[in-house]
Each structure stands twice: as structure tokens, then as C-alpha cells.
Amino acid sequence: MGYDCAMARWILHVDMDAFFASVEQLDRPELRGRPVIVGGLGPRGVVSTASYEARAFGVHSAMPTAKARKLCPHGVFLAPRFARYEEAAAATRAILSAFSPVVEPLSLDEAFVDLTGTERLHGPVERTAQEIHRRIRTETGLPCSVGLAPNKLLAKLASEAAKPGGVHIVHEEDVDGFLSPMPVSRLWGVGPQTARKLAERGVHTVGDLRGVDASLLHSWFGPTAGAQLWRMARGLDDSPVHSVRDAKSISQEVTYPEDLYREEDIARELRQLAMAVATRLAEESLLATTVRIKIRWADFTTRTRQVRLPEPTNHPVLIADEAVALLRRGGIQAEVGVRLLGVGLAGLIAATFRPEHLFVPSQLGAALHQVRSRHGAQSLSLGFPGEGHPRRGAGILDPGAKDGVNGEMDERGRGRGGRGGAGQRDRAVRLPDPDHGIPSGQGLVLLPARG
Ligand code: TTP
Ligand code: MG
Ligand code: MG
């Protein structure tokens, strides 16, 4: 019914090929044609990406760098240069914006573009897809793959099918032929668990899935996931392309009933705000590249300061750390009290991958998000040993410690580089690995709920 008369949509998906490695090969021509591996270079580092030359040796993302070195001893191993990748990503986005106002960046290296209704301006969408592909290649010097299809689900699968370096177009009448042979695990949200459950029932391909009754899918996966699987098996997806993400920021501020004078009180409140915004960031599956603080003094002068992070993160400890470092950088006027504090996060990108190699205690971040979502935002705060309610025992974020939350940490929670921070208080988190460049904390501890 309504479906037939709705205007047919055309969604384009671009994904750069071996993005970080391609940028390195662009900037250093002597690396072209050679196996290039970008990632954490320390003993616990993880591969972010490998050039297609390196993939021939079996190297891939998320593999320990140590293993990649064994597989590909002649490879060129490089640490990531995020600022440069962001520059390349911005250049690509600028090209996309020339073809449609509706561009949704998904991560640094990929984006959806809604081309519906652009025919009058730019001609047939098939030609536009080729033109976008050509312009990215020639204007950024980087290889990419482009998918064009009636919706986001199919466009993303199409760009994967186009890899490396191609353009793949899926017309409405090709949908069945395109999807049927694919393993179900290629569909969004079909993780290993769902795939296993389906395989146990003889469902391996999307074609197999299409043969399963809706009622059966409901009984296996529940009404929501069941219906979603039924629709995806048919290539149906009406989710819109959101163009807002770039502009978005997340912030929170508090006006205090009594002005704050002591530096440690101000720092504690900032850390609390940082935890709150980091939680919202994680809830929205985003990473931030910029941290801001806002301070309004009792005389109503207001200052904001911001810092660009070396790498995108949603890590509450790291964000809190940066907020406090910003506070200290500007100096504290002890004689004038603080009336309002705010912490904001900007330069948001989708957390489509976990930058694990960048922040060693990433599981610590995940654990903090988990505890706070389960027990409420007030259940934990960050601070120094001795702050808060020392009698009830501040849980020190030392992965070696044996109590509660800390017990969940594994050896990955250790390893600290350190760019050298302000107050060198108790080093509650000891992270000895200098390759990871973790910003220095000021003795981070978990404080149990106050009051
Ligand atoms: P992807 O688009 O997933 O991979 P890719 O561009 O390297 O290769 P492909 O040709 O298959 O698309 O990720 C984009 C960049 O994001 C990648 O170059 C490095 C980074 N990244 C990580 O840092 N960690 C990860 O786990 C993944 C998957 C990617
Ligand atoms: Mg890519
Ligand atoms: Mg990608």
C-alpha cells in the first residue's frame, strides 16, 4: 500500500579502503605497494588496520600487533596519527556535502548520503555514485568503495561488496539476488550468538532466513528482534539518514547553591560532571575528540577552555582527567568562588570500533559505564584517595586490588604512559606501558556514593 507510492529512496554509502594505512601510503609514497600496519606498537598494542598488501599475510584489525609482526615480519608498523586521519575524513565529507545536504558520518572513514531527489540537480544517481567515487579518489588521493541502494542496510552491504576500490549498485529488482547468498552474519545486529542460534536451526544464508516464517522468528528471538530479522532478510529498512551528528555536542552544567573555593572541591565536581557526560556519550555510542570546561566565577565572569584529545574516546577517567587538567591550566583564583561549572564534549563520532589500543584501561571505562547504568549515576564518582567518605573506603582503581569493581579488571587495566599531568598525587592506577600514551591521571580512585 503506502509503500508503493512513497518516493523510491537512493542511499549511498562510502567507506575508505584500509583507511589509516592508505593515508600513510599517501603521505609516504615509499610505502605504496608495501604491507603497512597501523596500530598500537607497544607489547599489548592492537592492529587498527592493515593495508591490503598486509592483509595478504593474514593481518587484520583488532589482532595483537605482536601476532601481526610474526605473520608479516617485513611489514611497516606505524602508530596512528588521528589528527591527519580527521583531516582526510573532513575532505571526504566536504565532497559528499556537494552532492546532498543529508550526509551522516558514521565513523572517521564512512558516511551515508541520501541522494533521493538529487536527480534534477546532478543527473541519474548511478552517475552521481561514480562521480563521488572519482572525486574522492582524485581530490583526496585515497581509495574508497561506494555502495548505492534503496536503503542504508543495502547501501552498506553494497559498499562492502564493492571493496576494494569499486562502486556497487543494488537496484530494487536485484535485492533478492544480492542478499540471498550472503551469510546471515553480514546483517546488522546479527552477532555470533544470533548466527549460532540460526545455524543450529539450519539457517545459514539470508536466503535461508527468508524462508523462515515470521511466527517462527518471533518464537526464536522475541517479537522485536524477530520482526527485524524478517525485514532484513527481505532487504527492508526505512531508517533515515541523519545529518545532525557533526554539529552535536554533549554537555552538562551545575550552578552550586554555595560558591566553591577549594581546588579539590572544584576538581571533584568537574570529575563528577565528566562522568555524567561520558555516560551519555557511551549511551549514544559516540566517542568525543574535544573536551570543554566552563567556569563561572562568583563575580559572573565566565571562562571556557577546551582541549583536543590525542584520540577519540568515551573513557570517563580520561575525560575527567582532561577536564581537571583544563581547570589547572587556567589557574584557580582562590579568592573568588566558583558559581557554576560545566563539562562538554564535542567533535563527536560514532563508536563503531573500540579504540582499545589507544586507551589501555578501556575495560575500566566499560566497567564504570556499567556500574553507573546499573546502580545509578550517583553510585560512583572519581577522586583522590581520602576524598569523599574515606571511612567507607574509597575503592582504588588499581587492577591489582582485590575488591569489588576492581576485581573485574584484568591485566589490560594496567599500562600507563603519561604525558605528565598536573597534581602528581597517589598513583592509584599504575600503567607502566609507555607506548600507549595514556594521559596522566591524578591518582584516580573510585569513590562510593556520597551521603
Ligand atoms: P574500517 O572501515 O572498518 O576498516 P579499513 O578502512 O581499515 O579497511 P576496509 O577497506 O576494510 O574498510 O575502519 C576504518 C578505520 O578505523 C581503520 O582504518 C582503522 C580504524 N579502526 C580501528 O582503529 N579499530 C578497529 O577495530 C577498526 C575496525 C578500525
Ligand atoms: Mg574502511
Ligand atoms: Mg569503516
Determine, yes or no, domain membership for 332. yes
The yes-or-no answer on residue 283 being catalytic is: no
Report, as an integer, the average pLDDT of 220-236: 94
Report, as an integer, the average pLDDT of 272-294: 89
- Work out the pLDDT band at 243, boundaries 50, 70, 90: confident
Answer whether 280's CB lies under 8 Å from 338's CB: no
pLDDT above 90: residue 181: yes
More confident residue, 351 or 196: 196
Query: Position of cell 552535536?
Result: 248
Residues in the chain: 451
Answer whether 16's CB lies under 8 Å from 92's CB: yes
Q: What is the pLDDT of residue 352?
A: 61
How much distance in Å is there from the Cα of 16 to the middle of ligand 2? 4
Q: What is the pLDDT of residue 287?
A: 86
| 373 and 271 in a common domain | yes
Q: How many CB atoms lie within 10 A of CB 414?
A: 18
How much distance in Å is there from the Cα of 71 to the middle of ligand 3? 24
How much distance in Å is there from the Cα of 18 to the middle of ligand 1? 6
15 lines ligand 1 (CB under 6 A): yes
Q: What average pLDDT does the chain have?
A: 80
Nearest ligand 1 atom to alpha carbon 16: 6
- Work out the pLDDT band at 286, boundaries 50, 70, 90: confident
230 lines ligand 1 (CB under 6 A): no
Residue 267 DSSP symbol? H
**Residues by chain with Cβ below 5 Å of ion ligand 2:** 15-16, 19, 109
**Residues by chain with Cβ below 5 Å of ion ligand 3:** 15, 109-110
Query: Position of cell 603497512?
Result: 36
- Work out the pLDDT band at 310, boundaries 50, 70, 90: confident
- In percent, the amount of the chain with pLDDT more than 90 equals 55
| 189 and 96 in a common domain | no
How much distance in Å is there from the Cα of 107 to the middle of ligand 2? 9
**Residue 395: which domain range?**
248-448
Query: Position of cell 598500537?
Result: 40
CATH code, domain carrying 210: 1.10.150.20
Of 403, 393, 410, the closest CA to residue 447 belongs to 393
| 142 and 220 in a common domain | no
Number of domains observed in the structure of the chain: 3
Q: Which one of 53, 109, 289 would you pick to mutate in the ligand 1 pocket, going by the greatest count of ligand atoms within 8 A of its CB?
A: 109
Q: What is the pLDDT of residue 412?
A: 29
The pTM assigned to this predicted structure is 0.64
Beta bridge partners of 260: 338
Q: How many CA atoms lie within 13 A of 430 on its CB side?
A: 5
Of 289, 307, 305, 294, the closest CA to residue 246 belongs to 289
Q: How many CB atoms lie within 10 A of CB 87?
A: 12
pLDDT 10s digits, 110-166 = 999 999 999 888 899 999 999 999 999 999 999 999 999 999 999 999 999 999 999
Which of 76-85, 296-305, 384-393 shows the lowest per-residue confidence on average (mean pLDDT)? 384-393
Bin 55: left if φ > 0, else alpha if -120 < ψ < 50, else beta: alpha
82 lines ligand 1 (CB under 6 A): no
3-state secondary structure of 265: helix
Determine, yes or no, domain membership for 242. no
Report, as an integer, the average pLDDT of 395-420: 28
Report, as an integer, the average pLDDT of 18-33: 98
| 335 and 201 in a common domain | no
Nearest ligand 1 atom to alpha carbon 38: 19
| 66 and 43 in a common domain | yes
CATH code, domain carrying 114: 3.30.70.270
| 219 and 127 in a common domain | no
Q: What is the pLDDT of residue 180?
A: 98
Nearest ligand 1 atom to alpha carbon 52: 10
Answer whether 309's CB lies under 8 Å from 271's CB: no
| 258 and 198 in a common domain | no
Catalytic residue among 53, 110, 269, 322: 110
Report, as an integer, the average pLDDT of 191-220: 96
Q: What is the pLDDT of residue 242?
A: 84
pLDDT above 80: residue 98: yes
More confident residue, 236 or 441: 236
Q: How many CA atoms lie within 13 A of 258 on its CB side?
A: 3
- Work out the pLDDT band at 43, boundaries 50, 70, 90: confident
CATH code, domain carrying 382: 3.30.1490.100
CA-based R_g, the chain, Å: 24
Report, as an integer, the average pLDDT of 239-262: 82
Q: What is the pLDDT of residue 368?
A: 65
- Work out the pLDDT band at 330, boundaries 50, 70, 90: confident
